[in-house]
Structure 1
Amino acid sequence: MKSQKNLFGRFIKDIAPGTLTWIGLRPKRKHDMIPVKAANAIEGLGLEGDHRCEKTPGSARQVTIISEEYIQQIEHFTHREQISPEVLRRNLVVKGLNLTAIRHQTFQIGEAIFEATALCHPCSRMEQALGKGGVAAMLGHGGLCARIIKSGRFQVGDKVEVLLPIEQEK
């Protein structure tokens, strides 16, 4: 992973900030997402009020992120006019940011700092939520998982800024 972080990290200085457009929390496993305007990220745990918080401390999947641009691709592949973020079961929706480019990088939203860890693959529930072919439509467009490396509050409308690795700041 370190080599991928360094490989992608060489180019992040050229990434323009994105914008956080939606936040959703799930109080319990398999429950509906609850849209909120602001949230608290808790270092090493997850989002306050989300079922994953404190479930598996240190997990690389404390928060899930998808972009509006990926949602548009999923709409295209499923022949649906509009897909609500709640259906896709991701915590955060951003726009104007290539999520693939920030994999293995750190980024800041509001006061919180996150580290993008892995691709967020669709679960089999997407077949039911989106219809036949839903999982296939999301492959490569499911977004990212992230861990919280600095606690803080953030809200819809905040910038999503990729942070330069320490060794590149010098």
Structure 2
Amino acid sequence: MAFPFFGDDKSKIAQLLATLPQTGRVEWIGLRPARREPLLSVTEAMVETDRSLVGDHARPKPGGKRQITLIQYEHLAAVAGYLGLPQAVDPGRLRRNLVVSGLNLLALKNRRIQLGEEVVLEITGECHPCSRMEEELGPGGYNAMRGHGGLTARIVQGGTLRVGDAVRVVGAGDKAAE
């Protein structure tokens, strides 16, 4: 069987970077009712276009790059392992809005993703841990989160988001990419 990527190394890498056929899943949704309050785990949330999740205290400016935060489900166990904990870290302790499984979130940087039938996000960057992780996870919490802090995103299209919704990359030819 022939290797499907032809041309110079740069074009091969570009093709590989553009190839992400997997579909992920929304595993958890969290709302922060007030600053420094525990996150509320919900099964469904309304997402406001170019703003935030309804019920979340954060009110980012329209056009902001950090309107919603995501973390990879598979990293919850990794962070726990670095801390010597017997089971995965509860996602509410990590202060992110969404937990997504089945996709390498870092591969989504600078791309658009669709969650469920309506919501479209533009991944804008990494969500680095803050010193609060020491308070939340104990000594070493900050360093355990390094490289596992997740991503930030801008909300391109709002709608209803539910735990269990599919997460997929939106390609240039997809209707949701417009």
Return the TM-score normalized by structure 2. Answer: 0.84
Which residue of structure 1 aligns with residue 35 of structure 2? 29
Question: Residues 80-159 of structure 1 correspond to what in structure 2 (within 5 A)?
Answer: 80-82=85-87, 83-110=89-116, 111-159=118-166
Post-superposition CA distance 1:110-157 (Å, at most 9, x none): 210001111001111100111111100110100000110011111000
Query: Can you give the 5+ residue segments of structure 1 that lack an aligned partner in the other structure?
Result: 1-6
* Correspondence for 1:16 among 16, 19, 22: 22
Question: Residues 7-86 of structure 1 correspond to what in structure 2 (within 5 A)?
Answer: 11-53=17-59, 55-82=60-87, 83-86=89-92
Q: Is the 8 A contact 1:13 1:164 kept in 2?
A: no
Find the aligned partners of 2:20 and 2:104 in 1 and give their Cα distance. Answer: 12
Rate the CA distance shift 1:33–1:70 in 2: closer, same or farther, 3 A.
Answer: same
**What do you get for the CA RMSD once the two structures are aligned?**
1.9
Which residue of structure 1 aligns with residue 169 of structure 2? 162
Q: Is the 8 A contact 1:9 1:105 kept in 2?
A: no
Find the aligned partners of 2:30 and 2:18 in 1 and give their Cα distance. Answer: 27
Q: Is the 8 A contact 1:12 1:101 kept in 2?
A: no
Q: Is the 8 A contact 1:44 1:58 kept in 2?
A: yes
Find the aligned partners of 1:129 and 1:113 in 2 and give their Cα distance. Answer: 30
Query: Can you give the 5+ residue segments of structure 2 that lack an aligned partner in the other structure?
Result: 1-12
Question: Which one has more relative contact order, counting CA pairs under 8 Å at least 6 apart?
Answer: 1
Find the aligned partners of 1:154 and 1:124 in 2 and give their Cα distance. Answer: 30
Post-superposition CA distance 1:16-49 (Å, at most 9, x none): 0101000000011111100100111111101111
Question: Which 4+ stretches in 1 moved above 6 angstroms?
Answer: none
**Structure 1 residue 10 displacement after superposition:** 5.8
Find the aligned partners of 1:155 and 1:132 in 2 and give their Cα distance. Answer: 34
Report the more deviating stretch, 80-89 or 93-102: 80-89
Structure 2 residue matching 1:14: 3-state secondary structure: coil
